[in-house]
């Protein structure tokens, strides 16, 4: 059972456009939702994270939108640049549980064309 | 801050040999470290979680005797792949977190190739 569903699997966006990646979760106990960026051959790097008590969080060109009732959250990359071309993973966990692990989505490969 | 390193970055070994991968938190004390495995164009698969000074907790389907994990200090965890076989070839990534903070900080990964 996949607890975090991510879409699309791949995405091509023109430079300057908006990249949107969506995730849906099933476990209502999840209360921490990070996004990671991974370049080929490298480890994932934390991009931005949100908790369900807010509906939106913005850091620079990256915004997370969170819909608790729909159990969905999404990553928006504004003014997408070729350097943003990478694989993006959403994840979810239960904060402060005694045994907290991240559940990852399957990833979205983003290509920003020049 | 929150830098995690891994060594080696790449390793090639013969089938049947053992390989040790180190994971270090460079600027913080990692109360918990995680080991993941990632196949090409796939997501990260959690293999095990380890707390400093305690035995690692392995995910279902991960062989404890094959993937030995030691979290001997607050800055070092090691993964030893014992009697490696070609099917163990993969990208192994560690992450670390410290007490009270949910964020996991990932290392750069180790590419293991077993011939």
Please, what's the b/e burial string for A21-49 (b: 16 or more CB within 10 A of its CB; e: otherwise)? bbbbbeeeebbbbbbbbbeeebbbebbbb
- The secondary structure element, H or E, covering residue A108 is strand A108-113
Which residues in chain B are closer than 8 Å to A42, comparing Cβ atoms? Answer: 108-109
pLDDT at residue A2, as a whole number: 64
Mean pLDDT for chain B? Answer: 93
Beta bridge partners of B106: B95
| Residue A42 touches chain B, beta carbons under 8 Å | yes
CB-based contact, A104 to chain B, within 8 Å: yes
Dihedrals phi, psi of A82, to nearest 5 degrees? -55, -30
Q: Do A45 and B103 touch (CB under 8 A)?
A: no
pLDDT at B37 over 60: yes
> Which residues between 60 and 89 in chain B have a beta carbon less than 8 angstroms from any beta carbon of chain A?
none
Averaged pLDDT for residues B55-83: 93
Quote the pLDDT of residue A19.
98
> Binning pLDDT at 50, 70 and 90, where does residue A1 land?
low
pLDDT in tens, A18-73: 999 999 999 998 989 999 999 999 999 999 999 999 999 999 999 999 999 999 99
Separation in Å, CA B93 to CA A6, B5, B9, B99: 21, 10, 10, 20
Q: Is the pLDDT of residue B1 over 80?
A: no
3-state DSSP assignment of residue B18: coil
- Residue B98 has a pLDDT of 84
Answer yes or no: are the C-beta atoms of B109 and B91 closer than 8 Å.
Answer: yes
- Enumerate the residues of chain B whose CB falls inside 8 A of the CB of residue A50: none
Taking an 8 Å cut-off on Cβ atoms, the answer to whether B41 and A89 are in contact is no
| Token pair of B36 as six digits | 């993941």
pLDDT tens figures, A15-30: 999 999 999 999 998 9
Residues B44-71 have a mean pLDDT of: 92
Per-residue pLDDT for A97 more than 60?
A: no
Residue numbers in B near A32 (CB within 8 A): 102
Residue whose C-alpha is closest to residue A21's, from A30, A31, A32, A10: A10
Contacts of A47 (CB under 8 A, 6+ apart): A34, A35, A36, A37, A59, A62, A75, A88
At A106 the pLDDT is 95
């Amino acid at each position: 059972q996949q607890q975090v569903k991510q879409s699309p699997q791949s995405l091509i966006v023109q430079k300057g456009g908006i990249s949107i990646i969506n995730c849906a979760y099933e476990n209502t106990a999840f209360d921490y939702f990070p996004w990671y960026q991974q370049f080929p051959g490298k480890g994932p790097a934390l991009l931005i994270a949100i908790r369900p008590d807010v509906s939106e969080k913005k850091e620079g060109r990256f915004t997370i939108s969170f819909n608790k009732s729909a159990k969905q959250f999404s990553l928006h990359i504004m003014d997408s640049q070729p350097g943003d071309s990478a694989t993006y993973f959403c994840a979810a966990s239960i904060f402060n549980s005694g045994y907290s692990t991240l559940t990852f989505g399957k990833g979205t490969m983003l290509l920003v064309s020049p | 801050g929150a830098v995690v390193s891994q060594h080696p970055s790449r390793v090639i070994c013969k089938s049947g040999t053992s390989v040790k991968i180190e994971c270090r938190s460079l600027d913080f004390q990692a109360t918990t470290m995680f080991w993941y495995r990632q196949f090409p164009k796939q997501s990260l698969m959690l293999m095990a979680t380890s707390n400093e000074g305690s035995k690692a907790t392995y995910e279902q389907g991960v062989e404890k005797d094959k993937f030995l994990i030691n979290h001997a200090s607050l800055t070092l965890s090691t993964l030893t792949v014992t009697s490696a076989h070609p099917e163990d070839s993969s990208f192994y990534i560690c992450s670390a977190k410290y007490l009270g903070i949910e964020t996991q900080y990932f290392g750069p990964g180790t590419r293991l190739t077993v011939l």
